[in-house]
Chains A and B, each alone.
Chain A
Amino acid sequence: MDTIRPSVGFAAVKLLEDAGCTVEVPAQTCCGQPAFNNGDRATAKALAMQMIEAFERYDAIVVPSGSCGGQIIKHYPELFADDPNLAPRANRLAAKTHELVSFLTDILGVQAVAAHYPGRVTYHDSCSGLRELGIQSQPRKLLQSVEGLELVEMPHSDVCCGFGGTFAVKYGDISNQIVTEKVTNVASVEPDTLLAGDMGCLLNMAGKLSRQGSSIKVRHVAEVLANMGDEPAIGEAEGGKP
């Protein structure tokens, strides 16, 4: 998000400010999930520590990603479970960390957004957001309030897109099979745009769609909710056309 698609960050900031929050962005790198999932617990812990120090002074930490959110909310407590000094700090951070869309709806009570996005849109449930954080109805509810947007459900929207972090590179052929099936399901409902709440999944699906020559646009759900849907889509050239 920080590197490939900063507009998602700005969309998140806008949504939070519109809802009355004061947003700060302390210097940060990564929540440590790649290390954690590749078995490098020491680095995962060190990065988690860095995050805890940078963020624990805030009232709420909001992440525009289900998998980074899941890492902090579900796995930081697990990482420090047997450390009596750090466990309380990890637990406290976990308790006040939220994924963006669920924070808007479940915590701030946002019912609708002031946005306009003309087109037929389908939404992919990213695995961590769905199964670790229970995010399913929240984005759909907000999307329904976007003017001009028609939300259509693809078959098996809750099935993995095949990204899985380093999995997509280490087991590229298997990952390709999974994402091919995913974009077939996406295309079957003939949407103009595919949305999801996680950059990893988005890059994976966008990369497959553009390789297939598809004209379906791919965006982060926050961009559409923040009325920033006229940025070039993911993998799209400046000025519109791929």
Chain B
Amino acid sequence: MSTVSTAHDFKRNAEKVIADGTVVKNLKAVRQNFIDKRVKAAQGLPEFEALRENAKEIKNHTLAHLDLYLERYEAKVKEAGGHVHFAVDAAEARKIALEICRKVGAKTVTKGKSMITEEVGLNEFLETNGITPVETDLGEYIIQLRGERPSHIIAPAVHLNKNQIESDFRRVHTHLDPNRDLTEKVSLLTEARGVLRERFLAADVGITGANFLIAETGTSIIVTNEGNGDLTQILPKVHIVMASIEKMVPTLEDVSQILRLLARSATGQEMSVYTTLSTGPKRMGDLDGPEEYHVILLDNGRSAMLGGEFQDMLRCIRCAACMNHCPVYHQIGGHAYGWIYPGPMGSVLSPSLIGVDEAGHLPNASTFCGRCESVCPMKIPLPKMMRHWREREYERHLNPALTRAGLGFWAFFAMRPKLYGLATRIGMKLMALASRGKGRFASLPFASGWTKHRDFAAPQGETFQARFKRERGTR
């Protein structure tokens, strides 16, 4: 089992967030920034569209030969003096990580930002086993203090405002002067840096994720803006990379193409501030670096997606553009989705990884506005794949009975044009009469989800087809 999910409660989760209002307000303050910056970055690069097409092809090719590239990658890591462990599921990944930590008697581990360690629930697991994990990315650090999960895949604390963070710092950093000035954003950053510096030096093991794994060289790459990833993987004696298998890319040249898309799509930067490569442990003559280097490669349901209708999702490079542009995400934030991956990419990926019975709401909670697909650097057809999930649910009768009945009723008439003509003629006449000349309804049975919040316009009376036939006398 992976980290606990409340995705089945999506609707209630969302309603709570909406009723509270804070998250919506906090997101509103920052979300346009992501959008404007991405547009500017994309427009500033004439070959942006061509790069998207290339990147898609690179990943499609890699996924088609993933077994081969995984083997090559493993061989190269070993050549460089590192170890590769394959983990079928979350439990196995946690166990492997714990064993490595125990072998070196680790008490604290520092962590770079990693969604995969969130997916397997590594922090809780290490803690129950007496090892203290310390998140070193500022956003991750904040949510760790709060005992929360990331609400966004690249900006984990985006649902919070400055005041909330300030009060968390005052609550936890009790060794500091209670009268210190934390009004400026930068003072929060400086404080976190100070606290984390000591942790970096004390850590026995550093655990990072990977944005890419390069088969030809056995290299893993992380991109960060804070440089915390570098310290996490260089200072401790042991470096563990935990990454999922689809992070594979054949060559350094391939990665350099995809990297040009990643930061532009994510934050609108041309490149992230740090792009850090690591290949094996410290070599003779290296000034620093870990003595041991481990890679834990996680499957957790991904290989089952290969060759199926959800394979395209494995092209995802976790840039977050889809959620940054999602009108649904904007109104409910990431936690409402109930598991690790929010927004459109999560609505496709989560049902694959934790099952559609658990995460069935997610692919339904979309207006199919298509904005996600239009900005996805990897050209993943997100709405189409959400629709595929809806098809699976429909086949398995997982969608609500009322929706099914309503659709069935409608389809019965839609399949019978004559009957449809008659029924709509009568129905619209009746509805027009029922509206009593007011032009709209303030409530309608069967559509209370609609009329709770808005009126429903009354029909004009006669249907178009009936009137056209009457006036023109044809067909």
- Give the interface of A toward B (CB within 8 A): 1-10, 13, 24-30, 32, 34-41, 43, 46-47, 50, 54, 78, 127-128, 131-132, 159-160, 162-179, 181, 203-204, 206-208, 210-211, 231-232, 234-238, 242
Q: Collect the chain B residues with CB atoms within 8 Å of residue A234's CB.
A: 457
Complex Cα spacing A170 to B361, Å: 10
**Distance from A24 Cβ to chain B, minimum over Cβ atoms (Å):** 7
**Distance from A37 Cβ to chain B, minimum over Cβ atoms (Å):** 6
Identify 12 residue pairs between A and B in the complex whose beta-carbon atoms are under 8 Å apart, listed by A's number.
A2-B424, A25-B464, A29-B417, A30-B410, A35-B407, A39-B394, A128-B370, A159-B369, A171-B364, A174-B18, A207-B456, A238-B439
Complex Cα spacing A203 to B451, Å: 11
Q: Verify B328–A178 contact, CB threshold 8 A.
A: yes
With A3-B428, A41-B394 given, name 15 new contacts (CB 8 A): A1-B464, A2-B463, A25-B464, A29-B420, A30-B414, A35-B411, A128-B368, A160-B367, A167-B366, A173-B453, A174-B331, A206-B440, A210-B440, A237-B439, A242-B440
Complex Cα spacing A8 to B407, Å: 25
**Distance from B25 Cβ to chain A, minimum over Cβ atoms (Å):** 12
Q: Tell me, yes or no, whether B282 is within 8 Å of chain A by CB.
A: no
Q: Tell me, yes or no, whether B24 is within 8 Å of chain A by CB.
A: yes
Q: Collect the chain A residues with CB atoms within 8 Å of residue B89's CB.
A: none
**Distance from A72 Cβ to chain B, minimum over Cβ atoms (Å):** 15
- Give the interface of B toward A (CB within 8 A): 11, 14-15, 18, 24, 327-328, 330-332, 364-371, 373-374, 384, 387, 389-395, 399-400, 403, 407, 410-411, 413-418, 420-421, 424, 427-428, 437-440, 442, 447-460, 462-465, 467-469, 474-475
Whether A32 touches B457, Cβ cut-off 8 Å, given contacts A160-B327, A174-B14, is no
Q: Collect the chain B residues with CB atoms within 8 Å of residue A36's CB.
A: 387
Q: Verify A127–B367 contact, CB threshold 8 A.
A: yes
Complex Cα spacing A174 to B331, Å: 7
Q: Verify A238–B437 contact, CB threshold 8 A.
A: yes
The A contact surface, by secondary structure, is: helix
Q: Verify A162–B367 contact, CB threshold 8 A.
A: yes
Q: Which 3 A-B pairs have the closest CB atoms?
A: A164-B367, A207-B454, A39-B390
Q: Collect the chain A residues with CB atoms within 8 Å of residue B14's CB.
A: 171, 173-174
Q: Collect the chain A residues with CB atoms within 8 Å of residue B428's CB.
A: 3-4
Q: Verify B421–A27 contact, CB threshold 8 A.
A: yes
**Distance from A11 Cβ to chain B, minimum over Cβ atoms (Å):** 10
Complex Cα spacing A242 to B438, Å: 7
Complex Cα spacing A159 to B328, Å: 11
Q: Verify A40–B18 contact, CB threshold 8 A.
A: no
Q: Which residue of B lies closest to A242 (CB)?
A: B439
Whether A38 touches B455, Cβ cut-off 8 Å, given contacts A27-B421, A29-B413, A131-B370, is no
Q: Verify A131–B374 contact, CB threshold 8 A.
A: yes
Q: Collect the chain B residues with CB atoms within 8 Å of residue A46's CB.
A: 415
Q: Which residue of A lies closest to B462 (CB)?
A: A6
Q: Verify A232–B439 contact, CB threshold 8 A.
A: yes
Q: Which residue of A lies closest to B390 (CB)?
A: A39
Complex Cα spacing A35 to B456, Å: 22
Q: Verify B365–A171 contact, CB threshold 8 A.
A: yes
**Distance from A241 Cβ to chain B, minimum over Cβ atoms (Å):** 9
Q: Verify A175–B453 contact, CB threshold 8 A.
A: yes
